[in-house]
Structure 1
Amino acid sequence: MSAALAFTVLAAGSLGVLSTPAHASDDMCNVPKADWKTKEALTEKLTAEGWDVRKVKTEDGCFEVYAMDAAGKKVEAYFNPATFEAVKIKKQD
């Protein structure tokens, strides 16, 4: 195989890998819909923990929450819809 052909094959293979988006929550939120709790139940739980929940939506099989946490920090958080386990939390300063 020539060097140019080898480079082309390698580059094409790399593009396939790069074009697939990676989501940290994919594996953590692979839950059948029948096992999901409600968005309202998650909102109640977080509110009881001192969060000010602004919005809850579904994203990549997780519940995505926009809120102010108990410390007053702006938060974007992802929760498993069956267990309400936090999968990923991004805090803004």
Structure 2
Amino acid sequence: MKNILIGALFLNATAVGAALAGEKCDVPVAEWQPREALQTKLEADGWQIRSIKTEDGCYEAYAVDSKGNKVEAYFDPKTFKRVDGESEG
């Protein structure tokens, strides 16, 4: 009985730890839009895209925005909503 209790506590702690260490974007890969679609959207907004990669479950874009600022931004891969990021300028 003691081993069962210890095992249950371990599994619970593991699940909580995984949830706390989650990624910025929690979207199943099957629901992701193509990165080319994000690039097209950002270019239509006046951005010059340097690269788009996957990071923390999100798309991470390195670009120059329409105001000429260098930008490192994260986007939800399903909705393309901006999650967070940094810009210079």
Q: Percent identity at matched positions? A: 50
The CA distance in 2 between the partners of 1:89 and 1:59, in whole Å, is 12
Counterpart in 1 of 2:47?
A: 51
1:4-31 per-position Cα deviation (integer Å, ceiling 9, x unaligned) = xxxxxxxxxxxxxxxxxx98x824x100
What is the root-mean-square deviation of aligned Cα atoms in Å? 1.8
Give TM-score, length-normalised by structure 1: 0.70
Corresponding residue to 2:59 among 59, 63, 73: 63
For these two proteins, the number of residue pairs brought into alignment is 70
Q: Which has the higher helix share?
A: 2
Give TM-score, length-normalised by structure 2: 0.73
